[in-house]
Amino acid sequence: MQNELFAPTGQMAGAASHAATKLRAPGIVLAGSALVAVCAHLALPLYFTPVPLSLAPFAVLLLGLLLSPRLAAATLGAYLAEGAMGLPVFTPGPLASSGLAHLLGPTGGYLLAYPFAAALISFLWHSTGRGFAAAAISAAAGNVAILAAGALWLGVFAHLSIQTAVTLAVVPFLPGDALKVVAAAALATGFQRLRHRTN
């Protein structure tokens, strides 16, 4: 009799837990894409290049370290989809373009590299011992992928030589990107230690 009385409650709890699990991934994707959007608006335009200094790559590095490869790629894919639809999630640029025009503009190479870079970072870190050094190396690899794609895209877009594209799209951002790599690695490893302590 007691089991019969409490069976519905257990079933309800199980159903609620199952529903929460199904909603967890979409919630992470939306929250992660919102984080990238906020960081994208923390930007400083540079007079000598169409590429602004932005915290968006930092968010990509951090999400790559915190999420699984598939979820990281999905989160950045959702971010790009939101921007392509015209939502104000991209870094404001001097050309005041938005939506698909912004995505295919001079900084499109960086943006289109985000899902791949986040998945790469996640894959590399999950394949290692998960220490700070491994996190930094993984984040650095993803950052190199973003910079390479950005320089290649800008070179083709503006008909620049490889040297000029690297000068405009890579070199000015190396010091700041080094700080982003270290910060993302520190936050990810700190979060990992905190999670282990609470479990």
Two structure tokens written together for 88: 């104000």
For 65-79, how does the pLDDT look when each residue is reduced to its tens digit (9 = 90+)? 999 999 999 999 999
| Whole-structure pTM value | 0.87
The CATH number assigned to the domain holding 82 equals 1.10.1760.20
Structural domains counted in the chain: 1
For 137-156, how does the pLDDT look when each residue is reduced to its tens digit (9 = 90+)? 999 999 999 999 999 999 99
Range of the domain at 125: 2-198
Residues of the chain with pLDDT under 50: 1-7, 9, 12-13, 15-16
DSSP string, 51-88: PPEESHHHHHHHHHHHS-HHHHHHHHHHHHHHHHTT-T
Q: Rounded to whole angstroms, how far apart are CA atoms 87 and 104? A: 15
